Every structure is written in structure tokens, then in C-alpha cells.
Amino acid sequence: MWIAFAFLSAFFAGITSVLAKCGIRKTDSTVATAIRTVIVLLFSWLMVWIVGSQKILPEVDGRSLLFLGLSGLATGAAWLCYFKALQLGDVNKVVPVDKSSTVLTFLLAAVCFSEFSAVGAVGIVLIAVGTVLMLERKESGEKEGGGRRWLLYAVGSAVFSALTAILGKIGITGVESNLGTALRTGVVLVMAWMMVFVTGKRRETVGIDRRELLMISLSGLATGGSWLCYYRALQDGPAGAVVAIDKLSILVTVAFSALVLKEKLTKKAAAGLLLITAGTLIMLV
């Protein structure tokens, strides 16, 4: 069953990237992150009340709360980096770098949870090579003056995403997945809005374009769905495999970015995408 949840997580995550890109054409990425976190938090707690897991909240131990909190901080940092990267670069370039967190997650999972296999290692190599090939794309969609800054933010997103998975795996142990997701989202919310005030962008929360606000909100709903499925999968499945399946969201993202954003892949980038897909599927063997 965890495999089904992991694939659903990938689908929702893929839609999230395109919706978010549409919502930050004019809106500051930090402000957008803070707004969408509100949507995710409301969605998460709604699911908690629907399944009745709020009843076990007093039973959550301090260790789980600590690691869920750390996972939330890592998620907040990953989001801030990711949406800044999306604002500066093409979706088709940012997403592959972000998805390379699979490699780091695999290594950390091998150390922390003894989750290692030779087959998985082969898959990781293919994913790494595929990511490099996708970075060879010409910079047709970058904003003027953006340069290569998108890459720094995308790498930061990948690192924090890997830490999110490992910390979340530890924190979700013994905690109902919907409740765990809601608790960590609260930490992300605080962090996201702190960044809005620290960077002096509070005024930019007023007067946001309605269409972009809609896209940001839909992105938040998609993220909420992705998270709920993701942490349900993490609760029962191996971290390395769950993260690998989740990263198949790149297929959904590439498809939607081609249809909606008109971002095209070169032959080399397409080959890289095939390698990433093949590597991910190998990890499921």
C-alpha cells in the first residue's frame, strides 16, 4: 500500500511545481511560500480531524516532536530555496536538481537506517547522471539578470529536502502520519512568515494578483495532498524507495510545463529524464 501512496505523492508534487511557477511570475517567492503554507496547514489539520487522529496528540512523545520540528525547519528551508529557484530559472531545470536529493537521501538512509542495496546504488548512479544531462539545457527561460543563481537555490533545496525525508522518517515513527504532517507544517508556517517579516516583504502580501493568488492556493492544496501521501508512505516503506518514487513527479512536471509553460526539452535533456526514470524504477526492484 505504501507504494500507492508514494505514487500519489509524486503526482501531486508534480502538479505543485507548475502551479507554483504560474503563481510567482510577479509575486515574491518568499511571500508565495508563506501564503501557500497557510493553505497546506489548513488542509493538513482538516485531514487530522476527518480521521480523528487529534485524539492521540497527547500521546506523542518528545523525541517524535523534536524530529518532526527539525523536519519542518528543513522543509521550510527547502521551500524557500525551491521557489526562489523557480522564480529565477526554468521549471525543467530547477526540478531535476531538486530531485537529485534522492541521491543524498539514499546515502543518509544507508547510514541511518541501514537501507542499502547494490541494485539501489545502480539506480542512484543513473539518477545522478540523468540530472547532469538535464542541466545541459540552454538557458532559454531564465529571467534576465538571474544568471546561474537558480542553481545555488536548487542545490540548497535538494540538500534540505534530503534532510526533511530522514528527519521525517525518524519523527513519524509511532505517530499517525496525518497528525505528523500537520505538526510539522505548523513549524514550516512559523518559519515561512518569519522570513517574510525578516526580509521586509510584509507589504507585498497585500495586492497580490488574483490569478497568481489562485495558483499559489492551488499549489498549496496540491502540496498538502502530496505531503499526506508522502508521510503515509514513509511510515510503512523504506525511506530510499519512497523518496525515489516521489521524485518521479518530474515526469508530471515536465509534461505539464510543456503544455502550460511551453518549456521544451532538448534531446540531451530528454535522455537525462529517461535515465532518471530508469534509475528510479530500478530502485523499486
Query: pLDDT tens for residues 179-221?
Result: 988 998 999 999 999 999 998 998 888 889 999 999 999 999 9
Within 10 A of 215 (CB to CB), how many other CB atoms are there? 22
pLDDT class of 146 with cuts at 50, 70, 90: low
At 76-96, the pLDDT tens digits run 999 899 888 988 888 878 888
List all residues 6 or more positions away from 153 whose beta carbon is below 8 Å from its beta carbon: 81, 82, 84, 85, 88
Distances (CA, A) of 105 to 28, 137, 244, 253, 254: 29, 25, 9, 21, 22
Please, what is the Cα angle at 222 between 80 and 181, to 5 degrees? Answer: 70
C-alpha cell at position 221: 492544496
What 8-state DSSP symbol labels residue 259? I
> What's the pTM?
0.72
Q: Where in the chain are the domains?
A: 2-52+61-282
Alpha-carbon span 173 to 170, nearest angstrom: 6
Q: Report how far residue 9's alpha carbon sits from residue 193's, in angstroms, rounded to the nearest whole number.
A: 25
**Summary count for the chain: helices (H), strands (E):** 12, 0
